[in-house]
Homo-oligomer: A and B are copies of this chain.
Amino acid sequence: MKQYLDVTDIENLPKLIDEAIALKKNPFAFETLGKHKTIGLLFFNSSLRTRLSTQKAAMQLGMHCMVMNFTSEAWTIEFEDGTVMDGGTSEHIKEAAAVVSQYCDIIAVRAFPTLTDKEKDQSEFVLNNFKKYASVPIINMESATAHPLQALADAITIMELKQTQKPKVVLSWAPHPKALPHAVANSFTKMMQKMDVDFVITHPEGYELDPEVTKKTPIMHNQKEAFKDADFIYVKNWSNFKDYGKVLNQDKSWTITNEQMSVTNNGKFMHCLPVRRNMIVADEVLDSEQSIVIQQANNRTFSAQVVLKNILEELEK
C-alpha cells in the first residue's frame, strides 16, 4: 500500500481485514517495524477517535508520533496557485507539505469540507494538495469527501460480528441540527460495494448522496421497509448534496428507535461517533446490546495499524 487516501487504495480487502484482526489479537507483533520512523498527524479539525487511535496504532508499531493542530499551532495555509500572498495566509501548501515531508516518514491529514463550496470540496483541495506536494505517503484521517480509516474499521467490525455469509447492511440517514459532511457515508458506501453484503441505502427524498459514489446501490425512501431483516444498521447524518451543505430536513421520524430496530434481524446498530443522542438515535437503542459502536471505535486502532503496517512494509521495499 503506497498511500491511503480512499478505500480505492485497498488492493486486497479480505487480506487486509484478516491482518487487522490478527493485529488485534497481537498488537505488538510488529513493534520493531516502525522503529526510527516518524508519523506526523496534521489536524485542520477536531478529532477524538481518529487522533487517539492513530497515535495508539503508530505506537504499537514502534513509530514516533508528532501531532500538530495545523490551524492553531502552525501558519495559515494558502492552497491556490499563483496567488499574491498579501492577505491572511502565511505559508503555501507547496512549502508546508514539502517541509513536513522532511521530518516525517508518513503524513496523516484531517481536513473537513467547507460545505459551502461544492466544487472545492469535491476536488479535495487540501488532501490532494498534500498528496501533490509531499514526498512521503499520505493517509486520509477524514477529508472533504472520504473517511477511509473509519470505513475500514466498519468493515472489520462487520466481518467480526456477522452471523451469516452475506449479511444485509443498511445505511440510513438520520436527522441532525447542523450541516454535516458526506465523508463517512461515502466511504462506508464504497466499502460495502467491495464486500459480499446485501447493501441498501435509505434516506428522505432529495437527500441523495453523490451518484458517482452510490452507483447502482439500491436507494429506498421508506426507512422501515429498508430495515426489514437487516443484520447491520449503519446510521449517519449528512447535509444535502444537491442543494449543497443545506439542512433541509430534520424529520425526527427518521431517528433510530426500538420501533425501527424491531423489523430488523436482531440487527446491530453502528455509528462512527460522535453521535447526538435522541436526534440520530434514541437512548434505548444506543444503550442496548444491539449497539456495537464501542467495538467499532475500538477497531479504529486496528484499521489505522494495518494501514500503517502496509505502508511501512512498502517503504522498506
A56 at the interface (CB under 8 A from B): yes
Kindly state whether residue A212 has any CB partner on chain B within 8 Å: no
Contact A276 B53 (CB under 8 A): no
The answer on a CB contact under 8 Å between B298 and A91 is no
A227 proximal to B (CB < 8 A): no
Contact B48 A98 (CB under 8 A): no
Partner of A75, one of B46, B59, B85, B92: B46
Q: Are B102 and A298 in contact (CB under 8 A)?
A: yes
Question: Which listed residue, B68, B89, B277, touches A78 by the CB 8 Å rule?
Answer: B277
Chain B residue with the shortest CB-CB distance to A70: B48
Q: Give the residue name and chain of the B residue nearest to A87 (CB).
A: B177
- Name the contact of A73 in the complex, choosing from B69, B99, B104 (C-beta under 8 A): B69
Choose, from A36-44, A158-166, A228-236, the stretch at the interface: A36-44
Chain B CB within 10 Å, residue with most, of A96, A102, A177, A298? A102
Q: Which one of B81, B82, B177, B294 lies within 8 Å of A86 (CB-CB)?
A: B177
For the complex, is A66 an interface residue (Cβ under 8 Å from B)? yes
Interface hits, A258-317 → B, CB 8 Å: 273-279, 283, 286-287, 293-294, 297-298, 301
Contacting residues, chain B, for A74 (C-beta < 8 A): 46-48, 51
Residue A72 interfacial (CB < 8 Å): yes
- Using Cβ atoms and an 8 Å threshold, which residues of chain B touch A244? none
| Complex Cα gap A307–B177 (Å) | 43
Interface presence of A9 (CB below 8 A)? no
Q: A277-B83, A279-B86 are in contact. Are A73 and B102 (CB under 8 A)?
A: no
> Does residue A90 face the partner (Cβ distance < 8 Å to B)?
yes
Complex Cα gap A277–B73 (Å): 21
State whether A99 touches B276 (Cβ < 8 A). no
Nearest chain B CB to A258 CB, angstrom units: 15
A98 to B47, CA, bound (A): 16
Closest to A283 in B: B82
Contact A96 B48 (CB under 8 A): yes
A195 within 8 A of B: no
A52 within 8 A of B: yes
Is the CB–CB distance between A277 and B85 below 8 Å? Answer: yes
CB distance from A148 to the nearest CB of B (A): 19
In the bound complex, CA of A126 to CA of B116 (Å): 36
Closest to A287 in B: B94
B68 adjacent to A48 (CB under 8 Å): yes
Give A64's nearest chain B residue, CB to CB: B59
9 CB < 8 A contacts A-B: A46-B73, A46-B75, A47-B73, A69-B73, A84-B278, A85-B277, A91-B275, A95-B274, A102-B298
